[in-house]
A and B are shown apart, each in its own frame.
Chain A
Amino acid sequence: MSKLPYEVQTEPVTPLSLLSPEGEVVNPDAMPNLTDEQLKEVMYRMVFTRTWDERAVNLGRQGRLGFYAPVSGQEASMIGSEYALNKDDFVCPGYRDMPQIVWHGLPLYQAFLYSRGHQHGGQIPEDVHVLMPQIIIGAQVLHATGVAMAFKKKGEKRVAITYTGDGGSSEGDFYEGMNFAGVYKLPVIYVVQNNRYAITTPYEKQTAALSIAHKAVAAGIKGVQVDGMDVLAVIKAVSDAAERGRNGEGATLIEMLTYRFRPHSMADDTTKYRTKDEEGEWSLKDPIVRFGKYLEKKGLWSEEETARVKEEAKATVNEHIKKAEATEKMTVAGLIDSMFETTPKYLEEQKADFQ
């Protein structure tokens, strides 16, 4: 049946994709302008992050890490989107988005401390522009909106970026944040990493929308969809959105189609809700393999290089987990003193019970 003239018109969207699974350039006009060194740096970070993820899962099993949300498969969406930012742009991450804030400057041992449940994990260094990972899904969307409001009011050419998953796009705060950004024309980028599952619940049970990118229509902001397994497409989309933000052209919602190769968290069992076929299909789209092929064809990368980065990553992880483990234990008294700028008398009295 044809659409009524007074019915809102929507069309399906095709994700931006720059590389074929074989690493061939399929969309030369949209290629981001990166030097060979920059391309190698992106690959370095993706391989490093994959290795870190593998190590983190094992450290979790050994009890040396606590809460941890695996990231393998999402390196392109995470690393590429952060790489497209300036250092003074502000990142409001969800709980899975540790790689973005580490590559934005948070020392790795502090990421481990966060996982282990140590307050120093959230003590972001002064020159690092990120928040701690957000556990309440959707809350970070509003913080990024407020940060972007601050940048706009101060006339600073900075953008805020925030991340949530496909499940997060069903939250009220997700819509409210985008709607505010639309009204105030804020320099903010809302990234939805659509890995098709919110724990066990598939995308189709979250929304009947044609795509998550379509949800931008409701807020009057720009919505785009990218192949989230294609790091160059991610870099292109985020660079464009950041430029628009800095130029006063407002907010962008970017849906990144991706997949987590591992469970939702350490306590999750994917065999109960995913098929081997599906997992196999997505593994063919591995962002590191695809980008690696592209770089190899350009003579910028090799198997040996990957092996070298993996060793380096393992050594770095070891060094930082040791540093995390050697960090002084917290005290209840110290915790009490972190509640307010000046500890009120009633808390001073309660401290006495713990000294």
Chain B
Amino acid sequence: MAQMNMKEAIRDAMRVELKRDPNVVVFGEDVGKVGGVFRATEGLQGEFGEDRVFDTPLAESALAGMAVGMGIQGFRPVAEIQFVGFIFEALDQMFIQAARMRYRSGGRYNAPIVFRTPFGGGVKAAELHTDALEGLALQTPGIKVIVPSNPYDAKGLLVSAIRDNDPVFFMEHLNLYHAFRAEVPEDAYTVEIGKANIVREGSDVTIIAYGMMVHTAMKAADELEKQGVKAEVIDLRTLMPLDIDTIVASIQKTNRAIVVQEAQRTAGAAAEIIAQINEKAILHLEAPVLRVAGPDTVYPFAQIEDAWLPSPARIIASVQKVLEF
């Protein structure tokens, strides 16, 4: 075991897989020599060579499309899009070409690609560096979506994603890269894709969250505990496929739920989660399932992002609403 922050755990996942499988290649803008703008790939080129870990020209569509071409020839590309807002340049290759490869070819070809991208607010970044765009991927059949919230999950999920024979959109929250350290095994291990994690047990209300919002929800749960409210917090970890069974089981116990996301209300994953709860657990509900989310504006300018992002106070207010319904 070693103490790692999430960025180091992500790097370690790529390192163990580069070591294990000669078909794994890591590339993107500035990921090679310097090891990425967040140093998430630092040292990998030195250890595995320029043939395995390399820089690309500045063109997101081409680097994603190159991954598709390499994927059908037996490579397992881990392609980095430097910031989430730049995925729009690559959307055709990520969400059309890679996501449909298996389907279009009736299984003859597949796209064993991980598209890694940093995202997430609270770090006062420039425009289009932080937007929560997971909702776009969730509306795209054929691509899995993973948003880890801690170092252990990040490494295990990235190893699983690299070994997955279908494309994965792997979103890394900027605010979590260096937030804290945790015990992470040094060898390869996997965390199952599509499996949520109950990070805090409770009996009064279920708080469903992912990414940074897991930590915001935990802060809210601490406060609620002082008020005598026991909140159960679910870290989804994977948004597609969604672990609806864990959510439903929790609601059967608590009879109340809210969903917390940092994306705008009509984006993200919350609406789909609530729809599925309606379909599968309506008779267990004592109150409607509420959303805590960013307002439906463009992602805010850095000066007001702390006010814009969901806070523990807004989560607590939402929990009180469902408790008092």
Contact = CB atoms under 8 A, between A and B. Distances in A.
B106 A139 contact: no
A contacts with B: majority SS = helix
Interface string B117-146: 000000000000000000000000110000
Contacts of B71: 146
A150 B241 contact: no
B102 A146 contact: no
Nearest to B110: A341
B235 interface: no
A277 to B, nearest CB: 39
Interface residues of A, number: 41
Given A136-B96, A151-B73, A142 B108 contact: no
A333 interface: no
A179 B73 contact: no
A119 B245 CA distance: 32
A180 B59 contact: yes
Interface string A140-167: 0111111111110110000010000000
Interface residues of B, number: 43
Nearest to A171: B61
Interface in B79-99: 92-93, 96-97
Given A147-B73, A150-B74, A341-B110, A139 B65 contact: yes
A328 B241 CA distance: 31
B69 A344 contact: no
- Listed residue (A124, A126, A339) with the most chain B CB atoms within 10 angstroms of its CB: A339
- Listed residue (B72, B96, B106) with the most chain A CB atoms within 10 angstroms of its CB: B106
A339 B103 contact: yes
Contacts of A179: 57, 59, 62
Contact of A119 (B25, B72, B106): B106
B166 A341 contact: yes
Contacts of A147: 69-70, 72-73
A349 to B, nearest CB: 10
Nearest to A180: B62
Contacts of A146: 65-73
A153 B61 CA distance: 21
Interface in B38-78: 51, 56-57, 59, 61-75
A145 B61 CA distance: 12
B109 interface: yes
A151 B71 CA distance: 12
Contacts of A341: 102, 110, 164-166
B228 interface: no
A177 B68 CA distance: 13
B105 A339 contact: no
A90 to B, nearest CB: 8
B316 interface: no
B142 A340 contact: yes
A143 B73 contact: no
B36 interface: no
A142 B245 CA distance: 40
Contacts of A298: none
A111 B70 CA distance: 24
A154 B72 CA distance: 13
A145 B166 contact: no
A122 interface: yes
Contacts of A144: 69
Given A173-B61, A180-B56, A339-B102, A143 B69 contact: yes
Given A139-B65, A172-B61, 8 more contacts: A142-B62, A143-B68, A143-B97, A146-B69, A173-B92, A176-B61, A338-B103, A345-B245
Interface of A: 90, 92, 119-120, 122-124, 126, 131-132, 136, 139, 141-151, 153-154, 160, 172-173, 176-177, 179-180, 183, 335, 338-341, 344-346
15 contacts: A119-B103, A123-B106, A131-B109, A143-B72, A151-B73, A153-B51, A172-B61, A176-B59, A176-B61, A179-B57, A180-B56, A338-B102, A338-B107, A339-B103, A341-B164
Interface of B: 25, 51, 56-57, 59, 61-75, 92-93, 96-97, 102-110, 141-142, 164-166, 194, 241-242, 244-245
